[in-house]
Structure 1
Amino acid sequence: MKLGEACKTWGLFRLVNHEIPSTFLSQLLEEAKKLFSMEFETKQGAFNDSPLTYFWGTPALTPSGEALTRGTQNMNWVEGLNVPVNKLSRFQCQQHPVLESFRLVLVEYGNHLSRIATTLFEAMASNLNLHPENSKSYLSLPTGAIRVYRYPQCSNANVNTILGMDVHTDSSILSILNQDQAISGLELLKDDEWLTVAPISNTLIVNIGDMMQAMSDDEYKSVKHRVKVNKHKERISIGYFVFPDDDTVIESTKYKPFTYNDFRAQVQEDIKTCGHKIGLERFKLT
């Protein structure tokens, strides 16, 4: 099956026939551009009284949007917004029309992504012969978060050494990306070579996260990826991440049993002490 082959060989694939209108995907990116074009102080003020978290230069976030301590890492060339999907309908931003307009679009987008994530995970669980009861508890839609990223143009003379996002794997089960339809930047590591994931209109990029790799006994690969910046143009991308419940135990023949809460706590500790995420290696059976 093509899905299983892509998950095992690449850890990333392009999704078509996702039933999200192309006009809507374009609208989503345009609304994001309007939001990021606001003054810095206005953006900060708009998010103070909302469950949305505004950040810049910080790639590592908890599902709730709390920035992790960066240790010795360099700041990344990015600003962004973390949006817990299940809280979108609980607040309104009438005093900030641009934010309110974007919130309404995100509510609809979150519904689409929840549907897609569920369909994909059910297919993957079936391919892997995961126990039905276990697999039902693994994917928790209330944990879904949308992260909206803006990578500003970078005129620095050393632009080739500056990253919009450091090399990393996602801690999620699945990550679904609506990347800029005109400007490339996402790269994945395959056989020790960095490959560009070219933008193609009306497609979504899906990549496997750490939790899915553990559930699959390392059959599916949590792919290393990074984001390069552009010297002349800014770039917008919108990612959706979904996780297990905090206390759901992940069982695997390759790893000792752990919960997502255990994994997240270990990542936070490693970033504080080592300056970077170590991830699944911390839970490998010896």
Structure 2
Amino acid sequence: MDSEPPFQEAYKSLLKEQENSIAVKLIDDEEVVEECEVPVIDISRLNGRNETEKEECKKEITRASVEWGFFQTVNHGIPQDVLQRMQREQVKLFRQPFEKKTGEGDKLLGLSVAGNSYRWGTPTATCLKQLSWTEAFHIPITDVFTSSAQPNRLSLTIKEFAATVSSLAHIIAEILAENLGLKSAFFTENCLPNTCYLRMNRYPPCPLPCKVFGLMPHTDSDFLTILYQDQVGGLQLVKDGRWVTVKPNPEALIINIGDLFQAWSNDVYKSVKHRVVTNGRVERFSVAYFFCPSYDTIIQSYREPRVYKKFSFREYREQVQVDVRTTGNKVGLPRFLL
């Protein structure tokens, strides 16, 4: 039984349309600068006794969040063997037959997940530029810690990974809030395990690299995202108006600012557009943790004059879904400008 999602069959008309047209490449080689290494921050300094080093580490985190919207952390506290195990188990998961992934995803995960956690492609795509050549398992964190299913090696590894990245997300969020002069229990009260989620991603080899995205350009609709990626590469982000390729670092986790933090900080921190490009020969794996509040949480800029009107996370998610359905693209924060 084949493990690959039926991209060729499901998107036959879009792919045929591409073959029959003299289309401009979606991804122009000339627009991508050389591979770059986004800021790398050793956050073990936060746990040391040297107050000067602690403060310098916090400054580096806030500076990167202002100037890049992205940074990498090393010595982050997640054992290398957990990350390696995560990747090995992920590969085994995606090697399962396609029919099992679509019909028995919770059994494969060793978790009791509400609904079908497996997704692939882009059901709403009406043209190739809206298609993401990827498959993924979308897992609410609450299901990771409250599952009644018989655990397996994958689910146990997911629990270890989720617990440590959740703690890291809270630490980073508090540092960024403190830089704004805000010391409150906002993240502790609103960003709970039952509001955050994990997504394991696989980007299969694509027959039309540079014409189909692995993940189309977007910003994240959360406060923070923490990503662990393999060494294949393919993640790109916008820096100073140009796309740059993020150089993989086997020891680092990538952290990026989401839309909610940009709105909450009144544009101090930047939620930067990013994408994943496809590869014609090699598959790519990653796992992402999304630090989100409850749907009823109100997002309000911390100072006046405010750039954005007040909105709930539920309103934001619903608007994003409407825009994707009607236009094929996420509009995001511009919908909420004052």
Do structure 1's residue 166 and structure 2's residue 230 form an aligned pair?
Answer: no
Alpha-carbon separation, structure 2, partners of 1:138 and 1:90: 19
2:334 alignment partner in structure 1: 281
Pair 1:148–1:283, CA change in 2 (3 A): same
Q: Deviations over 1:118-143 (max 9, x none)?
A: 11111111011125254544533421
Alpha-carbon separation, structure 2, partners of 1:213 and 1:203: 24
Q: Deviations over 1:128-173 (max 9, x none)?
A: 112525454453342111100000112x2x3112110000000010
1:45 alignment partner in structure 2: 103
Moved over 6 A (4+): none
Consecutive unaligned residues of structure 1, counting only runs of 5 or more, are 59-68
* Structure number having the greater strand percentage: 1
Name the SS for the 1:72 alignment partner: coil
Which of residues 72, 76, 81 in structure 2 aligns to 1:23? Answer: 81
- For residues 136-285 of structure 1, the aligned pairs below 5 Å read 136-154=188-206, 156=207, 158-180=208-230, 182-252=231-301, 253-285=306-338
Shift of 1:193: 1.3
Comparing 137-146 and 116-125, the one that deviates more: 137-146
Alpha-carbon separation, structure 1, partners of 2:202 and 2:149: 21
Q: Deviations over 1:226-256 (max 9, x none)?
A: 0011222111000000111111111111111
2:169 alignment partner in structure 1: 117
1:79 alignment partner in structure 2: 135
Residues 134, 214 of structure 2: 8 Å contact kept: yes
* TM-score, with length taken from structure 2: 0.75
Consecutive unaligned residues of structure 2, counting only runs of 5 or more, are 1-58
Amino acid at match of 2:101: K
Alpha-carbon separation, structure 2, partners of 1:200 and 1:16: 9
Alpha-carbon separation, structure 2, partners of 1:71 and 1:6: 34
1:55 alignment partner in structure 2: 119
Residues 170, 188 of structure 2: 8 Å contact kept: no
Residues 175, 241 of structure 1: 8 Å contact kept: yes
Q: Percent identity?
A: 40
Alpha-carbon separation, structure 2, partners of 1:17 and 1:48: 32
Amino acid at match of 1:33: V
Q: Deviations over 1:3-22 (max 9, x none)?
A: 11100100000011111111
Amino acid at match of 1:132: S
Pair 1:133–1:113, CA change in 2 (3 A): closer
Comparing 235-244 and 271-280, the one that deviates more: 271-280
Alpha-carbon separation, structure 1, partners of 2:106 and 2:165: 26
Q: Deviations over 1:75-130 (max 9, x none)?
A: 21100100111112333554xxxx83211110111101111011111111101112
Pair 1:92–1:220, CA change in 2 (3 A): same
Higher RCO (Cα < 8 Å, 6 or more apart): 1
Alpha-carbon separation, structure 2, partners of 1:103 and 1:262: 32
